[in-house]
């Protein structure tokens, strides 16, 4: 019998530069997205949405972000400009996870955390399907011009860009904290 926690215990991020085609096919993607949105959602607000970036659209998005990086910093060194030019060329599928925050009875933090859970479920789901993934933010997640490029509306923000594809190589596991260092009992 396999370990029911194996996916969680073996979860790791695969650097986007180490991802290549193929990405999940149409059926896998539908299942992945359906699994990703099964998250805690206080008030049933569905405070998230997904924007799929692939093919020519993904490359155009990456080029616009590279131009925006130079607008933000005209003195951006050539090596960093090249990094920006290549950022969206590796993984065949990038999913922008968008939080849709509504003012009201549900705390905004809970809505944002729900959207974060969607991004994390994309990571877990991709790995469970045999793919690799990395959740990235960087400056683009917090830039108003990038929000405009993505067509974000009032109360929307980027939670992250989840890059998904097939790993080119095995990623070594990194050390994790000892549970004794981070788990404690509360005592009154």
> How is the chain split among helix, strand and coil, in percent rounded to 5?
45, 20, 40
What CA–CA distance (Å, rounded) separates 165 from 97?
17
Burial 152-167 (b: 16+ CB within 10 A, else e): beeebebbbbbbbbbb
Binding residues for FMN: 11-13, 38, 42, 135-137
Q: Which residues are annotated as a binding site?
A: 11-13, 38, 42, 135-137
Q: Taking the CA atoms of 98, 103, 104 and 110 in sequence, report the sign of the dihedral they define.
A: positive
Query: What kind and span of H or E run contains 34?
Result: helix 26-36
């Amino acid at each position: 019998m396999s370990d029911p926690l194996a996916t969680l215990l073996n979860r790791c991020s695969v650097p986007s530069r180490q991802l290549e085609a193929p990405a999940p096919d149409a059926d896998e993607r539908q299942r992945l997205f359906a699994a990703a949105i099964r998250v805690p959602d206080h008030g049933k607000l569905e405070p998230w949405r997904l924007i799929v970036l692939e093919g020519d659209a993904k490359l155009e998005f990456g080029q616009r972000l590279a131009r925006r990086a130079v607008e933000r910093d005209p003195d951006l060194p050539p090596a960093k400009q090249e990094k920006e030019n290549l950022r969206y060329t590796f993984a065949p599928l990038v999913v922008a996870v968008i939080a849709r925050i509504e003012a009201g009875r549900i705390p905004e933090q809970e809505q944002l955390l729900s959207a974060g859970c969607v991004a994390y479920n994309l990571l877990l789901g991709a790995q469970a399907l045999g793919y690799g993934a990395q959740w990235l933010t960087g400056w683009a997640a917090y830039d108003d011009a990038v929000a405009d490029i993505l067509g974000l509306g009032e109360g929307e923000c980027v939670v992250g860009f989840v890059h998904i594809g097939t790993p080119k190589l095995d990623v070594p596991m990194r050390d994790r904290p000892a549970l004794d260092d981070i788990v404690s009992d509360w005592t009154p």
